[in-house]
Structure 1
Amino acid sequence: MLPLRDRLPVRRPAYVNWLLIITNIVVFVWTQALISVAGPRGQVARAHEMLMEHGLVPARLMHEPVEALPTLFSSMFMHDPSGWAHLGGNMLYLWIFGDNVEDAMGSRRYALFYVLCGIAAAMAQVLVNPGSVVPMVGASGAISGVLAAYGSLYPRSPITVLNPILPLWLFFGIFLELPAWLIILEYFVVNLFSGLGSLGGTGGGVAFFAHLGGFVAGALLIRLFIRDKTPREHDRWTQFRPPAQRRRSPYDPRPPSPPSPRRPHGRDPWGW
């Protein structure tokens, strides 16, 4: 299921989340520019060189931890240079879920939380395959921690997704509204089974255990980083229906829309 947006407004601008998105995009564009300079014949070699230099290589981290330590951080902002799909998917998830997590934590705590989840994700992949010489890049591990935090805070927040079953388009339309816990649980289960299925492999591919490591770290750290212990009221998913309009952010200068007929809930951010 591909999430497209949520309906939970933020109470303050998510500066760190936007900075993370912009930084990832700038790094990707910079990578593309350096690769294109190498010319048609040298682009593949140049791309591999950059991934090896800035990506996290588990074998190098195990044998040269001091020299390879910076790649723990640089790899979080590098993405597959062969296309926009890797970057686009990650930034879509970060845009949907990251602003609300930052809103609940505060900008400084959110920045630290994001980095710690990214480090935990990288170390999980290293522990599973310490001898791998395949460079690992991407923000997926850190974003997995953000997903776990969102699921802990707002498990029944309505999320608009692209309807994955074509025949159901006739009944529900192209888009569906599902609870956040279902979207995030599906993400975790898919990565869990994919990770278990990849054990014993020697090639490259998706770092499933990095996703799992970041997710577990986010689920464990959320209670330590949450700033406002007061439960926040928010709309909760109640049934399958076409997506409604997103609630307006409190700092939006435009005039407010008529109130939603749905009753806000949210007495316990840790409960359902």
Structure 2
Amino acid sequence: MIPIRDTTVCYTTPYVTWALMFICISLFVLLEFSPDQIHHYIIYIYGMVPLRYTNPEWAIAMGYPVDHYLSFITNLFLHGGWLHLIMNMWFLWLFAGKIEDRMGHVRFIIFYLICGFIASTIQWLYTPDLVMPVVGASGAIAGVLGAYFFLYPYSRIVIWIPILLLPIFIEIPAIAFIGLWVIFQMAKATTAVMFYEGASDVALWAHLGGFIAGFLLFRYFLRKDYPG
């Protein structure tokens, strides 16, 4: 199922959402055309490598800067491939503008970064020995979905079901679409822990951690003068 659009009305221009998309896309394109050595350095230094913080001696031996915790935030702006980038930017485009509208620009960026930080931390706690960098905006976007889930549960999400590439579109409530997304993340995370010792090419725990952070914290960032 691929979400195409929603029916929620947005009263303000989502400048922060656009800026986040611009930064993510620009960094990805820049790194794609950078020498491999620079690409590798940026991903490993500014991506969040869990073992770097679990085992400081290993981190020093590998040449990581000491006490460098910015990667819990900077990893949100890096992506591992075109599909990874496109999916994250699509979800950001569909859902984040509505939450920015309800929070205001400043409150939204604070909320977004806090959710991303919590998502990165949860991923570190559940995969402390991982030596691959965790990158991507999906943890923070999961926080946006957590807020959307409670603010617009009955908004209609137009879904494309790509059966033989036919134009099959249906509308379902946001609570159903996001609920299915959460169930899928939980199932994948549990399977990874049970059968693969927590190994996965998707930061599932970051997704769940970001979502939980989003639905717990969103109410503290809402505008009091919202016109809707």
TM-score scaled to structure 1, two decimals? 0.74
Partner of 2:16: 16
Measure the CA separation in 1 of the matches of 2:31 and 2:49: 18
- Which of 221, 227, 244 pairs up with 2:223? 227
Query: Any conservation in 2 of the 1:159–1:178 contact (CA below 8 Å)?
Result: yes
The alignment's C-alpha RMSD in Å is: 2.2
Uncovered stretches (5+) of structure 1, i.e. residues with no partner? 233-272
Q: Which amino acid aligns with 1:208?
A: L
- Which of 75, 96, 101 is the aligned partner of 2:99? 101
Q: Which residue of 1 aligns with 2:73?
A: 73
Residues 58 and 131, structure 1, Cα contact 8 Å, conserved in 2: yes
Does the 8 A contact of 1:3 with 1:162 survive in 2? yes
CA distance in 1, matches of 2:70, 2:201: 22
Q: Secondary structure at the match of 1:67?
A: coil
SS of 2:190's equivalent?
helix
**Which residue pairs with 2:134 in the alignment?**
136
Distance in 2, Cα, partners of 1:214 & 1:165: 31
Q: Look up the match of 1:4.
A: 4
| Structure whose alpha-carbon radius of gyration is higher | 1
**C-alpha contact 1:55 1:135 (8 A) present in aligned 2:** yes
Query: What is the distance in 1 between the residues matched to 2:200 and 2:168?
Result: 34
1:156, 1:70 → 2: CA distance? 37
The letter for the 1-side match of 2:174 is A
3-state SS of 1:159 partner: strand
* 1:133-212 equivalences in 2 (<5 Å): 133-164=131-162, 174-199=168-193, 200-201=196-197, 203-212=199-208
Name which of structure 1's ranges 192-201 and 182-191 shifts more when overlaid on structure 2: 192-201
Letter in 1 for 2:89: M
2-structure distance, mates of 1:17, 1:31: 21
Query: 1:198–1:29: structure 2 CA closer, same or farther, 3 Å change rule?
Result: same
Pairwise CA distance, 1:222: 1.1
Q: Partner of 1:87 in structure 2?
A: 85
Question: Does residue 52 in structure 1 map to residue 40 in structure 2?
Answer: no
How many residue pairs were aligned? 218
Cα distance in 2 between the residues matched to 1:71 and 1:48 = 14
Question: Is the 8 Å Cα contact of residues 102 and 226 (structure 2) preserved in structure 1?
Answer: no
Amino acid aligned to 2:102: A
Identity %: 39
Using the alignment, how far apart are the partners of 1:126 and 1:66 within structure 2?
A: 17
Name the aligned partner's letter for residue 22 of structure 1: F
Unaligned runs of 5+ in 2: 57-64
